[in-house]
C-alpha cells in the first residue's frame, strides 16, 4: 500500500485492492493515515456493494443507514449502505418535487455525517458508481486546520460551547419542513460540543455542521449567525479540498475532524449514483475534556 500526499490535506492510497480482505497491517496503516490526513482517496476500486460493505466492516462497527426522511426508499439490498443518488426505487431520476430529492438538497450544505446522533459517526466512505458529466463534486474542509487558524478570542469563545444538532435544523435552512410525526421523533435534537478532540493525536478541531440549530444559553438568531460566521471562516479555500469524481473512486473521511458537502449538478437530467457506508463513533463529544489552560498557557 502506497500513501501519496496530495497538494492539500487528503492523501491518495494506491497499491491496494479493496475487493479483497485487508491485512491487520493495512488496517493500521489506514487508521494512521486517516488520523494524519482526514481524507483518503482510493482510486479505481472496482467493487460491488458486498465488497464495499466487507471492507468497511474490517475497519469497525457500521452505523445504521436509516435517517429522517429516507425510510421509504429501498433501492439497495443492504440497508446499512446509504443510497446517495438521485434515483428512485426503480432506478429512475427523482421528480423535481419529490420529497426525498428536496431533503437531499441539504447535503449541499456543509455538514458532518450523523452529528445529529448522540454518538456521532467516525469514518464515512463513498464509492462512485455513476457520475454526471459535470458538477456533483464533493468538497471537504479540515476542521483541525480551521481551529489552528482561528483567532485566539474566538477560541476562548468557542471552547466550552454546547450545541443542539438535528436533521430538521439543516433541512429547515433550505426551506424543507415536511416531517411526519414519526420523523420528528427520530429527529429529536441531541447535544454536541462545538470543539472536540481527535483522540488519536490530541489535536482540537471545530465541530461544525448544518445540523446545528442552537447554542445552549444563546438566543437562536445569535446562535445561527455565530455558527454561520464560523462556517465561513472554516471553509476558506485554503482549508478545502474539492474531489472531482471518477467512476470507481472510493473516498473516505473522518467526520470527527472534517466537514463536507456535495456540489450541485443537473440532477433532473443526469443520474448520479454513489454508495456510502458510515462507521459508528465510540462516544459522545460531551465526554471530551478540554481545559483552557492546555492551549492558552
Q: Which of 74-83, 103-112, 224-233 has the lowest mean pLDDT?
A: 74-83
Q: How many CA atoms lie within 13 A of 241 on its CB side?
A: 23
Sign of torsion over alpha carbons 171, 247, 90, 83: negative
Q: How far is Cα 105 from Cα 228, in angstroms, rounded to an integer?
A: 18
Q: Distance between CA 56 and CA 243 in Å, rounded?
A: 21
Entry pTM: 0.94
Q: Which three cell numbers stand for residue 75?
A: 433501492
Place 63 in a pLDDT band, splitting at 50, 70 and 90: very high
CATH architecture of residue range(s) 2-296: 4-Layer Sandwich (3.60)
pLDDT for the residue 72: 60
pLDDT of amino acid 178? 85
Alpha carbons 119 and 25: distance in angstroms, whole number: 27
Q: Distance from CA of residue 203 to its chain's centroid?
A: 19
Burial class (CB in 10 A: 0-12, 13-18, 19+), 12: middle
From the number of C-beta atoms within 10 Å of its C-beta (0-12, 13-18, 19+), residue 248 rates as middle
pLDDT, average across residues 58-81: 80
> Helix, strand, or coil here: 142?
strand
Domain spans, the chain: 2-296
What is the structure's pLDDT at 70? 55
For residue 49, the SS3 value is helix
Alpha-helical segments (H) within 98-137: 99-104
Q: Is the pLDDT of residue 295 over 80?
A: no
Give per-residue pLDDT as tens, 252-269. 999 999 999 999 999 999
* Terminal Cα distance for the chain, rounded: 41
Q: Give pLDDT, residue 293.
A: 61
Amino acid at each position: 500500500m502506497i500513501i501519496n500526499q496530495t497538494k492539500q490535506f487528503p492523501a491518495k492510497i494506491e497499491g491496494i485492492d479493496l475487493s479483497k480482505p485487508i491485512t491487520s497491517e493495512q488496517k493500521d496503516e489506514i487508521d494512521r493515515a486517516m488520523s494524519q490526513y482526514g481524507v483518503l482517496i482510493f482510486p479505481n476500486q472496482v467493487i460491488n456493494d458486498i465488497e464495499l460493505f466487507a471492507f468497511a466492516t474490517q475497519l469497525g462497527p457500521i452505523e445504521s443507514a436509516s435517517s429522517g426522511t429516507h425510510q421509504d426508499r429501498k433501492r439497495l439490498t443492504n440497508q446499512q449502505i446509504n443510497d446517495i443518488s438521485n434515483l428512485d426505487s426503480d432506478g429512475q431520476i427523482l421528480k423535481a418535487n419529490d420529497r426525498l430529492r428536496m431533503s437531499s438538497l441539504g447535503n449541499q450544505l456543509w455538514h458532518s455525517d450523523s452529528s445529529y446522533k448522540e454518538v456521532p459517526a467516525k469514518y464515512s466512505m463513498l464509492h462512485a458508481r455513476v457520475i454526471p458529466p459535470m458538477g456533483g463534486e464533493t468538497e471537504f474542509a479540515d476542521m483541525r486546520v480551521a481551529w489552528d487558524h482561528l483567532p485566539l478570542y474566538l477560541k476562548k469563545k468557542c471552547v466550552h460551547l454546547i450545541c443542539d444538532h438535528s436533521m430538521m435544523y439543516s433541512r429547515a435552512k433550505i426551506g424543507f419542513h415536511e416531517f411526519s410525526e414519526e420523523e420528528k421523533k427520530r429527529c429529536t435534537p441531541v447535544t454536541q460540543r462545538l470543539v472536540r478532540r481527535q483522540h488519536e493525536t490530541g489535536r482540537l478541531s471545530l465541530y461544525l455542521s448544518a445540523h446545528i440549530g442552537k447554542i445552549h444559553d444563546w438566543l437562536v438568531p445569535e446562535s445561527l449567525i455565530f455558527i454561520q460566521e464560523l462556517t465561513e471562516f472554516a471553509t476558506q479555500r485554503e482549508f478545502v479540498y474539492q474531489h472531482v469524481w471518477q467512476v470507481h473512486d472510493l473516498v473516505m473521511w473522518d467526520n470527527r475532524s472534517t466537514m463536507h458537502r456535495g456540489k450541485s449538478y443537473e440532477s433532473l437530467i443526469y443520474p448520479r449514483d454513489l454508495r456510502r457506508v458510515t462507521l459508528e463513533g465510540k462516544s459522545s463529544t460531551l465526554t471530551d475534556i478540554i481545559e483552557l489552560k492546555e492551549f492558552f498557557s
